[in-house]
């Protein structure tokens, strides 16, 4: 790698070939001769879509791949300070993990032990690898929790993982990883499911720790824009192969590989809004990618309002003590209008009340106050029988399509069951015909009808979830973080699909997300929420160009900008220094 020419190398991956043995006896070649270096005191970003081989490469470095069905070529080498990790014994590997090489996983809640306090889990690492006694390890654990920015570290050390937020859990994972001051830190998608503000904090924390401790960092992500201001060097992978390597400057300023160019172009832009986002295939087909004209967004005075929400409130009660109760107001006096064929984006951090608003509108939560006038009729005042008709007209797409699709149903059953329940189609054949048509609308073949959800990728499952909503021929779709967990390339495909469906059927969208870049791309108007309240509401371009609320500026300043920032973003960042 060019960046390492005058830098001492800490880890070298040479001709890494990984095969997985499948149930039918066939072999799947996951990694195909990958080679790259990680220099000392530098951050290398390993970038690519799901299935590109990023995580398999990191697990091979840590020697955590399942031995029963994994084959690594005898010609492969993973050299750490000149020693081949592939030749180490199990006891030697145990000593190395955590002490010399540590790893932060994507899902902290699945990595932390739910029955031990976080302080005990950090202390255990110190006792195991640093030889500290229990009292000294507990004291050092509190110091580490303070170092990673946890408030009240002495108290937080006594907490269990479920008592912490997602960002706090990830900070605990980082504290465990740096406890023994490793020479190499591997961060595998450590910010994918986090709010943009928390994501920025975690990235800044890792960068600060890297400089302070002189660590090398291997940062794994699917989002090239995320690493532009964070990494020194970039390795781009696809289908188990390296497509391009270089410094951040080289990759961002003059990418050579068409796949790298595609990854850079897939993410929504902040300075303009093309009618369609670029997708990977646009760059890999003859003729290349030609960016379309910009789409004009915004509400107009004569727009038909299909949904008007007035003073929506939702409170949850919980027990406190023997006889007392505690009331938590998840949504307070929320009001907005949604026009036909337009999109209202609802943006805010986790806990801001976005999802509560969406679930209350479809009556999965019962509103405690306010009105929701759908074509003049209050959804909240209807009886269950009256609302049954409106279930067809207002549908919701959830964040996790795998959790919301019945794993025991085929796609045909998933699509035809709601039609049968609501009396759509005169016969089973009519419903199957409509299911085929809907699959075609969302870009899936008719052969998908016979398959089960687990046989599809995340993006394909989200398309099935969208098709299921369309079976009801709705007027309003509530998209609740429906693209937040997807690769940027798949995210672009789903956003394009939602736009096509809106253009064809004049659908109205409530688009809920913590990602303001995505919200700005697809929304006509944006509503910013914080702690259950609306803090700002305006047309999408106006929100971005002239944010009024301090909280909105905070969200905008946290959007990953790649390499360099627009003048407006720099202004926002400078402004926030005084906040």
Backbone angles phi, psi at 205, to 5 degrees: -65, -45
76 within domain boundaries? no
CA distances from 357 to 351, 364, 384 (A): 11, 10, 19
Cα separation, 44 vs 298, in Å, equals: 41
Helical H segments across 406-457, by residue range: 411-421, 428-441
Strand order in the sheet with 43-47: 101-104, 184-188, 216-221, 43-47, 233-238, 241-247
What token pair was written down for 117? 């306090």
The confidence score (pLDDT) of residue 110 equals 76
468 within domain boundaries? yes
317 within domain boundaries? yes
Answer for the pair 122, 172: CB distance below 8 angstroms, yes or no: yes
565 within domain boundaries? no
Count of domains forming the chain: 2
Per-residue tens of pLDDT for the chain, all 579 residues: 544 445 799 999 999 999 998 877 789 999 999 999 999 999 999 999 888 999 999 999 999 999 888 999 999 999 999 999 999 998 999 888 888 999 988 777 778 999 999 999 999 999 988 889 999 999 999 999 998 888 889 999 999 998 887 778 888 988 888 888 899 999 988 876 677 777 888 888 888 888 888 899 999 988 887 888 789 999 999 999 999 999 999 999 999 999 998 888 888 888 889 999 988 888 887 777 788 899 999 999 999 999 999 999 999 887 776 677 888 899 999 999 999 999 999 999 878 899 999 999 999 999 999 999 998 999 999 999 899 888 889 999 887 777 789 999 999 999 999 999 888 888 999 999 999 998 988 888 999 999 999 888 777 888 898 999 988 889 999 999 888 767 888 888 889 989 999 999 999 999 998 888 899 999 999 999 999 999 999 999 999 999 999 999 988 888 776 664 333 333 233 333 323
Cα separation, 356 vs 465, in Å, equals: 20
CA atoms within 13 A on the CB side of 451: 14
The confidence score (pLDDT) of residue 287 equals 74
Answer for the pair 451, 461: CB distance below 8 angstroms, yes or no: no
Cα separation, 440 vs 446, in Å, equals: 7
Residue 359: domain span:
305-550
Cα separation, 413 vs 270, in Å, equals: 40
Helical H segments across 329-399, by residue range: 354-361, 384-391
403 within domain boundaries? yes
CATH label of the domain that carries residue 409: 3.40.50.300
CA atoms within 13 A on the CB side of 446: 6
433 within domain boundaries? yes
Identify the three-state secondary structure at position 215.
coil
Domain-ending residue, one of 181, 202, 234:
181
The confidence score (pLDDT) of residue 442 equals 86
Give kind and range of the element (H or E) at residue 123: helix 118-129
Answer for the pair 521, 295: CB distance below 8 angstroms, yes or no: no
The confidence score (pLDDT) of residue 321 equals 66
Mark whether 404 and 540 lie in a shared domain. Answer: yes
205 within domain boundaries? no
250 within domain boundaries? no
pTM, rounded to two decimals: 0.82
- Across 447-474, b (16+ Cβ under 10 Å) vs e yields ebbebebeebebbbbbbbbbbbbbbbeb
Domain-ending residue, one of 146, 164, 181:
181
Domain-ending residue, one of 181, 204, 239:
181
Cα separation, 534 vs 354, in Å, equals: 10
- The interaxial angle of helices 411-421 and 458-470, nearest 10 deg, is 20
Q: Is beta strand 305-320 parallel, antiparallel or unpaired with respect to 324-339? A: antiparallel
Give kind and range of the element (H or E) at residue 31: strand 27-39
Strands (DSSP E) contained in 183-320 are 184-188, 216-221, 233-238, 241-247, 305-320
């Amino acid at each position: 790698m060019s960046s390492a020419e005058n830098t001492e190398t800490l880890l070298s991956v040479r001709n890494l070939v990984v095969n997985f043995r499948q149930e039918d006896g066939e072999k799947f070649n996951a990694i195909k001769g990958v080679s790259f270096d990680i220099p000392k005191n530098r951050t290398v970003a390993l970038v690519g879509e799901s299935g590109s081989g990023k995580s398999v490469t990191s697990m091979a470095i840590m020697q955590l791949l399942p031995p029963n069905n994994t084959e690594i070529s005898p010609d492969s080498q993973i050299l750490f300070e000149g020693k081949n990790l592939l030749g180490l014994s199990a006891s030697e590997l145990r000593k190395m993990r955590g002490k010399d090489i540590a790893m932060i996983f994507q899902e902290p809640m699945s990595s932390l032990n739910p029955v031990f306090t976080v302080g005990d889990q950090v202390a255990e690492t110190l006792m195991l690898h640093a030889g500290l006694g229990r009292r000294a390890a507990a004291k050092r654990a509190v110091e580490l929790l303070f170092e990673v920015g946890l408030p009240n570290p002495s108290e937080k050390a006594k907490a269990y993982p479920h008592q912490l937020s997602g960002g706090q859990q990830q900070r605990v994972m980082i504290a465990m990883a740096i406890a023994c001051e490793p020479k190499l830190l591997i961060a595998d998608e450590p910010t994918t499911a986090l709010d943009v503000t928390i994501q920025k904090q975690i990235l800044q924390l890792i960068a600060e720790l890297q400089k302070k401790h002189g660590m090398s960092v291997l940062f794994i992500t699917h989002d090239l824009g995320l690493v532009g201001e964070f990494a020194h060097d970039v390795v781009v992978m696809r289908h188990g192969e390296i497509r391009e390597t270089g410094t951040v400057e080289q990759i961002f300023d003059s990418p050579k590989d068409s796949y790298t160019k595609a990854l850079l172009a897939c993410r929504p832009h902040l300075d303009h809004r093309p009618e369609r986002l670029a997708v990977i295939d646009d760059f890999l087909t003859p003729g290349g990618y030609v960016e379309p004209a910009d789409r004009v967004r915004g509400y107009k005075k004569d727009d038909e309002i299909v949904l008007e929400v007035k003073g929506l409130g939702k409170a949850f009660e919980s027990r406190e003590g023997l006889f007392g109760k505690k009331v938590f107001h998840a949504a307070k006096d929320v009001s907005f209008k949604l026009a036909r064929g337009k999109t209202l984006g609802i943006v805010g951090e986790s806990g801001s009340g976005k999802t509560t608003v969406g679930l209350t509108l479809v009556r999965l939560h019962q509103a405690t106050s306010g009105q929701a006038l759908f074509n003049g009729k209050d959804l909240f005042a209807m009886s269950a029988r009256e609302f049954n008709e409106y279930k067809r007209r207002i549908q919701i797409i959830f964040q996790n399509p795998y959790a919301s699709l019945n794993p025991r149903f085929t796609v045909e059953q998933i699509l035809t069951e709601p039609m049968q329940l609501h009396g759509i189609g005169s016969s089973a054949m009519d419903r199957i015909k409509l299911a085929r048509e809907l699959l075609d609308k969302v870009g899936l073949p008719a052969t998908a009808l016979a398959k089960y959800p687990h046989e599809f990728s995340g993006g394909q499952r989200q398309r099935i979830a969208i098709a299921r909503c369309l079976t009801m021929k709705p007027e309003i779709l509530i998209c609740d973080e429906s693209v937040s967990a997807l690769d940027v390339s798949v995210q672009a495909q789903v956003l394009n699909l939602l736009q096509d469906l809106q253009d064809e059927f004049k659908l109205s969208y409530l688009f809920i997300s913590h990602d303001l870049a995505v919200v700005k791309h697809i929304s006509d108007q944006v509503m910013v929420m914080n702690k259950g309240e609306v803090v700002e509401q305006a047309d999408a371009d106006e929100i971005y160009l002239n944010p009024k609320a301090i909280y909105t500026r905070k969200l905008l300043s946290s959007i990953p900008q790649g390499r360099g920032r627009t003048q407006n973003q720099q202004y926002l960042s400078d402004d926030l220094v005084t906040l």
